Structure 1
């Protein structure tokens, strides 16, 4: 993305993906990412100034919206961060086209191996629910849905859905089972 027209087209597409809003936190994160990629492709004396502006934008988005989208992440077209807050992405992660992330999602490394090769690669049309964690050197196929609070540490085949186990229900100490309780209004 060397010329300004490609940057403008990418920003317009990102804005449309984020509800046609110039002020959506997800749009801000993706816009800064596109700007940083464009700034890296520039040459001459303007490049250091553009890189500092991109760094300032990255720090603003990270510290204000709590979206950590490093400039080295490879994102496909129409990448969308649906909700701000707690989004952490590994610097070497790879996303296909039309991916959606929600709040409190972590895309990161797992284990003690080589940090830079220990990242997830996600295919096209991957939808990641709130609180999900995708970690390690894994591949997530196309058309995958990862449900809320799911932890994914193995490859996921295309066209599948990953969900976390159903929560357990337990009685609190000293509480009686619901069947043994009487309705106070029905006496």
Structure 2
């Protein structure tokens, strides 16, 4: 597969923990075309702020930031229709294209440089298993209106077609389309061009 334009390693949990809020948000801003007015960038920035807030050990120091985060989260959700809780494990340089009807389960994970579009839902499949949530790998391209349900894994470099309903694991480098989604290509060689991220 062709190298990504960023020229840097993908994130690990430890790396995300050590990077500053400013570094992560700057990457997100660049990935969103250096446009701070984009709803997707604002949603991701609020998510980063929420994660940063919850790292503050002192509950007295954390309290005002927590209140601010909750206000911003609700503002983004109600204004742009993007629900992205701080509990989501969000990789670096994830892009949210457009807005409206985007719901991400609080226990979902989204890998580096993935793209989420309008109308996408990542959620649980069964009422008696409310904590089940999808895990998306790196560079996953999710089409508009796609739904991904349950404790499933979507591999790296996967394309999910518009309005697809994904209910089972998708292997790396595959394309999945339809309701329920079926694999139509298991050796996908696409790459993303979502902007160049400068060295921080």
**What TM-score, normalized by structure 1, do the two folds share?**
0.83
Q: CA deviation at 1:112?
A: 2.8
CA distance in 2, matches of 1:144, 1:157: 8
Residue of structure 1 in register with 2:9 after alignment: none
| Poorly superposed stretches of 4+, deviation over 6 Å | none
- Picking from 128, 132, 135, the partner of 1:121 is 135
Please tell me whether Structure 1 or Structure 2 has the larger radius of gyration of its CA atoms.
1
Q: CA deviation at 1:163?
A: 1.6
Secondary structure of 2:113's match? coil
* Uncovered stretches (5+) of structure 2, i.e. residues with no partner: 1-15, 180-200
Structure possessing the higher relative contact order (Cα contacts under 8 Å, 6 or more residues apart):
2
Secondary structure of 1:115's match? coil
Aligned residues: 163
Residue of structure 1 in register with 2:157 after alignment: 143
Residue of structure 1 in register with 2:104 after alignment: 89
Q: CA deviation at 1:111?
A: 1.5
Q: CA deviation at 1:164?
A: 2.1
Compute the RMSD of aligned alpha carbons.
1.5
8 Å CA contact retained: 1:2, 1:41: no
CA distance in 2, matches of 1:137, 1:11: 29
Secondary structure of 2:89's match? coil
- Picking from 143, 146, 163, the partner of 1:132 is 146
